[in-house]
């Protein structure tokens, strides 16, 4: 079984052929997907996709880019929405100081609401972080110190110090098609170093299409190329890598049925 842990199937890029995209993924052997919520107003669309497909699950949350639009978002609201049995994660949430679309203080406040909800729901906290390594490490260490938090560092592109600090609090890492990019030696270095029992893969489709699909719309079926890149990087056989990544995924997301 191949697994895509981070898809944006509600994205307008899939508006005309979403069902065909899902069918192509299944035909390629993708057995589970998590459809990610980027804004609370999009949650209805995200959960509808999960409800319509036994092999697709969902998250609830607001991307840090949109934190300024979610300053009134409470943990209680996230808990209410996240109580749906097809919701397996809270986020993506975190800190992004690359584009700075939202003030840092708003990102921090919204992140704290997500962390509280994830802890209460006992569902995985899905983290987006970019160019905010120290602040992100401090926040995650603080929240993990409160207990009962499963953490996924989604599409990891940050540095080794943040990786070291979040590994110490039990975080998992997800790697995307960025691993295949010519200039991504820093990402490949982290992917080589992370313990094998703390890794899963994703596409983040429709973004970040891996080589040899660069420049195209990314689809969940391209997770096969992402997994192949990771397997080559770590010297793993295809079946060995599939089994390893599946074990990690189902341990990180215990609310997802392993068997149909």
Specify if 260 maps to a domain.
no
DSSP-derived secondary structure for 146-214: TS---EEETT--S-HHHHHHHHTTT-EEEE-GGGGSTT-HHHHHHHHHS-GGGEEE---BTS-PPTTST
Query: Does the residue 259 lie in any domain?
Result: no
- Is residue 34 included in any domain, yes or no? yes
- Kindly report the CATH number assigned to the domain that includes residue 33: 3.20.20.140
Domain extent at residue 123: 2-252
Q: The pTM is what?
A: 0.97
| Distance from C-alpha of 11 to C-alpha of 247, rounded to nearest angstrom | 28
Q: Let me know if residue 258 belongs to a domain.
A: no
Q: Is 61 helix (H, G, I), strand (E, B) or coil?
A: coil
pLDDT in tens, 145-195: 999 999 999 999 999 999 999 999 999 999 999 999 999 999 999 999 999
169 burial (CB, 10 Å; 0-12 / 13-18 / 19+) is: middle
pLDDT digits 0-9 by tens, 82-103 = 999 999 999 999 999 999 999 9
Average pLDDT, the chain: 97
Of the candidates 96, 91, 88, which has an alpha carbon nearest to the alpha carbon of residue 73? 91
* β-strand pairing of 172-175 with 30-35: unpaired
Q: Residue 240 in contact with residue 196, Cβ under 8 Å?
A: no
222's torsion region: left (phi>0), alpha (psi -120 to 50) or beta? alpha
- 156 domain-assigned: yes
Task: Report if residue 126 sits inside a domain.
Answer: yes
CB distance 29 to 2 below 8 Å: yes
The Cβ-side half-sphere exposure at 227, using a 13 Å CA radius, reads 24
Is 62 a member of any domain?
yes
The total number of structural domains in the chain stands at: 1
227 domain-assigned? yes
């Amino acid at each position: 079984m191949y697994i895509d842990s981070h898809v944006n199937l509600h994205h307008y890029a899939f508006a005309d052929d979403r069902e065909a995209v899902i069918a192509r993924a299944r035909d390629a052997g993708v057995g589970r997907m998590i459809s990610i919520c980027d804004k609370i107003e999009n949650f209805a669309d995200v959960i509808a996709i999960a409800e319509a497909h036994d092999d697709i699950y969902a998250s609830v949350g607001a991307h840090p880019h949109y934190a300024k639009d979610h300053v009134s978002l409470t943990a209680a609201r996230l808990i209410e929405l996240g109580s749906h049995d097809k919701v397996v994660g809270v986020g993506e949430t975190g800190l992004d100081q690359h584009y700075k679309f939202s003030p840092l203080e708003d990102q921090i406040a919204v992140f704290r609401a997500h962390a509280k909800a994830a802890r209460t729901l006992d569902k995985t906290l899905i983290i987006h972080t970019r160019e905010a390594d120290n602040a992100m490490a401090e926040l995650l260490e603080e929240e993990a110190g409160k207990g009962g938090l499963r953490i996924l560092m989604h599409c990891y592109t940050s540095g080794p110090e943040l990786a070291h600090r979040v590994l110490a609090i039990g975080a998992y890492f997800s790697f995307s098609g960025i691993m295949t990019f010519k200039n991504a030696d820093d990402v490949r270095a982290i992917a080589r170093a992370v313990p094998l029992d703390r890794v899963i893969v994703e596409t983040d489709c429709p973004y970040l299409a891996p080589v040899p699909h660069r420049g195209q719309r990314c689809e969940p079926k391209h997770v096969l190329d992402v997994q192949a890149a990771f397997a080559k990087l770590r010297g793993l056989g295809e079946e060995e890598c599939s089994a390893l990544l599946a074990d990690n995924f189902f341990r990180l997301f215990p609310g997802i049925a392993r068997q149909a």
